[in-house]
A = this chain, B = another copy of it.
Amino acid sequence: MKLLGKLLVSAAFLAITVPAVATQTDSELRKEAAEFFEVIPSVIPAIKDNAITHAKIELGKKLFFEPRLSKSGFISCNSCHNVGMGGGDNLETSVGHGWQTGPRNAPTVLNAVFNTAQFWDGRAADLKEQAKGPIQAGVEMASTPERVIATLKSMPRYVEDFKVAFPGEEDPVTFDNVAKAIEAFEATLVTPAARFDQFLEGNDKILTTEEKQGLSLFMEKGCTTCHNGVNFGGNGYFPFGMVEKPDASILPENDPGRYTVTKTEDEKYVFRASPLRNVALTAPYFHSGKVWELESAVRVMGTAQLGVTLEDNEVKAITAFLKTLTGEQPRIEYPILPISTATTPKPELMIPPPPAPEKAPAKK
């Protein structure tokens, strides 16, 4: 009886999934995929209110790798958004000033320029707004705009770089321009030519049968409700646990997500859908960073968001497909940073007292 049940389930499974692949030609699959997804551009996209120039990109690269933007002089943007590690840090939550850990996993900086909004709760409209957050967050870089400006103005080379990057401005070394330069550099961190993109562009042979099956399942199961567009996410807000709330270890109760931004009751535990490009490089997963295996993350998404228990081979196929979203990683020459001078603020390593209970720590 039990065996019969299993056989029936298997038959039912075959009835649902195998035909999808068997009956769908590559060009049909491509056509369907093109309704949900876009090929990632290999050119630097235009940015609102921030003309991208080479001078700005080069300055932004220095700032991105600049530990003196932090109070300690030890932590740079790249410490947690490591360009050699998929644009994240492969930690549950990042290490910041005084070895404090933040409440949310560091999202990848790669292709972040294509997200509709930044941070897990979308509280920053764009990368220039985002860049200002971690620099000032007490549990991250713990600096202030004043300290950042004093630091940069103390180094003639930086002052010159800002003049060239922001021509015509009387006093170009501003916190706004720091953010704009970082945004300009980050806009270059796109990862084109993922195998999926090559498939979408017409190369039938670039994906295996299992990967194509995974793509087909990803669309049929409804993953595309939240994960679509050029970044496979990053463009909408959804409750984590749309159908069934995941375990508290994955969805900690003390982080109500977008509710902290909007204070709207029905946005409790709502988060920005994670962009899935390069997802194979960005473990651990979810805002809590509690899930290390991509397979497990797929499974959790099945139960929590879709209300289905995905079969092992479905999980395997979807995971195989997700791995085709790894694009060409950025090639970056390590910047040579300007030299500190007598007036450069000295590093301050001292660990601040824990934040008062009514003030929540800064969130990613």
User: Bound state CA distance, A332 and B89, in angstroms?
Assistant: 20
CB-defined contacts of A292 to chain B, threshold 8 Å: 342, 346
In the complex, which of the residues B85, B91, B92 contacts A337, with contact meaning CB atoms closer than 8 Å? B85
CB 8 Å contact bits of A73-99 with B (1 = contact, 0 = none):
110000100111110011110010011
Q: Is A333 an interface residue (CB 8 A)?
A: yes
Are the C-beta atoms of A349 and B84 separated by less than 8 Å? no
If A74-B89, A292-B342, A332-B334 touch, does A82 touch B67 (CB 8 Å cutoff)? yes
Query: Interface size bucket, A side?
Result: 35 or more
Are the C-beta atoms of A333 and B331 separated by less than 8 Å? yes
CB-defined contacts of A101 to chain B, threshold 8 Å: 349
Q: Is A283 an interface residue (CB 8 A)?
A: yes
Q: How many copies does the complex hold?
A: 2
Among A83, A334, A340, max chain B CB count under 10 A is at A334
Give A242-281 interface residues, CB cut-off 8 Å to B.
280-281
Known: A99-B349, A99-B351. 4 other contacts (CB 8 A): A98-B99, A331-B333, A332-B334, A333-B334
* 23 A-B residue pairs with CB within 8 Å: A65-B84, A67-B89, A68-B90, A73-B89, A73-B90, A74-B89, A74-B91, A82-B337, A84-B334, A84-B335, A84-B336, A86-B339, A90-B340, A90-B347, A95-B349, A99-B99, A99-B349, A281-B339, A283-B340, A293-B342, A330-B334, A331-B334, A332-B334
Which residues from chain A sit less than 8 Å from chain B, CB to CB?
Answer: 65, 67-68, 72-74, 79, 82-86, 89-92, 95, 98-99, 101, 280-281, 283, 292-293, 329-337, 339-340, 342, 346-347, 349, 351
